[in-house]
Amino acid sequence: MRNSVVSALIAALVWALLPLLSLGTGGLPAHPGSVSAPPPAQTEGQEPPEDPLPQPVSGFDAGYRLPVLREGRTESMPLDRYLTGVLLSELPASFSDETRKAQAVACRTYALRSCAHPRHEGAAVCTDSVCCQGWRDPDSVSPALLAQAEAAVRATDGLCIRYQGALIDATFFSCSGGRTEDAAAVWGSELPYLRSVESPGEEMAAHFSDELRLPLEDFRARLLELDPEAELSGDPAGWIGDLRETPGGGVDEILLGGRPFRGTQLRKAFQLRSTAFTLRLNTQEAVFTTRGFGHRVGMSQYGAEAMARAGNDYVTILKWYYSGVDILPEAP
Ligand SMILES: [Zn+2]
């Protein structure tokens, strides 16, 4: 318990001090789409927030049937059961209620958008976390875990995230390493609500920072598979050339052996946890140090948890990670 109190205090402090610090930007200029400081947490005795929380639409999720591809068969599943299973799969049970509500709204938005743009033949979504969103059978967990997930779904019943009236592509990931990424830097096309924003307080995440070491010869061989014209001889320290960063502090492009390599290309080739990495070479080995885990576009789950522990509600969390959006009830 003591650890969680300490980390909650640290997270609150970091969020409070953010305007004074330049965390995680790596000296980059502020991105036009980024916000300079998070809104302060509400505390007792303060004025109520300007925008009251949106009202859930009681019964919306229970009455909405979603075609879900599960174990090779398409099942017509009530949306509330689907979302409960997604929360059980996608979030650690130790996370706060406000994080779970933010995740429920993001996952509902993803599901409803997938009905308009089905991701599978005859099904809006599947239950594979790599393809669509993960799903864990609500009948397979303890009553306490089930109640926790169901409460977050019920508290946000029928609420979705919209940008200029349209449901957004509500992407999320585990941990950014301090700053999220622009959609364009990862997928090539700009989305106004998927902009790089700061995401402090994620140090509690297991993969906040990781190191990958591999023998220099393996590194060299794999790079030459990607580009046989790379000039990889002599002192390895001299192989590394100029690097161009993405708005979110990832590697956009790096020169290795005089040839350009994309950060996304290297992430795939070396199975790096993210494109936010630094690289060191010596005569023995190559050392990648990565920050964050995942594509880093949209909502950071660990960043959302840091905001929740600092006292922010789920609407504030969603509006922080998805720029310029509204949280609105769906028509019943
Ligand atoms: Zn799928």
DSSP per position, 42-77: P-TTSPPPSSPPPPP-TTHHHH-EEEEEETTEEEEE
User: How far, in Å, from the CA of 119 to the mean position of ligand 1?
Assistant: 6
Take residue 186 and report the two structure tokens written for it: 């990862």
pLDDT of residue 34: 34
Q: State the DSSP string of 110-163.
A: HHHHHHHS-SBTTBSEES-TTTS-----GGGS-HHHHHHHHHHHHHTTTEEEEE
User: How far, in Å, from the CA of 128 to the mean position of ligand 1?
Assistant: 6
Rounded distance between C-alpha atoms, residue 56 and residue 46, angstroms: 25
User: How far, in Å, from the CA of 231 to the mean position of ligand 1?
Assistant: 41
Digitized pLDDT (tens) for each residue of the chain, 332 residues in all? 444 444 544 455 555 444 343 333 332 333 223 333 444 454 455 555 566 899 999 999 999 999 999 999 999 999 999 999 999 999 999 999 999 999 999 999 999 999 999 999 999 999 999 899 999 999 999 999 999 999 999 999 999 999 999 999 999 999 999 999 999 999 989 999 999 999 999 999 989 999 999 999 999 999 999 999 999 999 998 999 999 999 999 999 999 999 999 999 999 999 999 999 999 999 999 999 999 999 999 999 999 999 999 999 999 999 999 999 999 999 87
User: How far, in Å, from the CA of 76 to the mean position of ligand 1?
Assistant: 15
pLDDT of residue 239: 96
pLDDT of residue 44: 52
User: How far, in Å, from the CA of 126 to the mean position of ligand 1?
Assistant: 4
| Residue/partner pairs of 3-11 with CB below 8 Å, 24 or more apart | 7/204, 7/309, 8/309, 8/310, 10/201, 10/203, 11/200, 11/201, 11/306, 11/307, 11/309, 11/310
Rounded distance between C-alpha atoms, residue 250 and residue 136, angstroms: 32
User: How far, in Å, from the CA of 12 to the mean position of ligand 1?
Assistant: 37
**In Å, how far are 18, 222, 253, 275, 313 from 268, measured between CA atoms?**
33, 11, 14, 9, 36
Q: Is residue 224 within 8 Å of 216, Cβ to Cβ?
A: no
User: How far, in Å, from the CA of 104 to the mean position of ligand 1?
Assistant: 18
pLDDT of residue 206: 87
Nearest 5 degrees, angle CA 293-CA 322-CA 196?
55
User: How far, in Å, from the CA of 129 to the mean position of ligand 1?
Assistant: 8
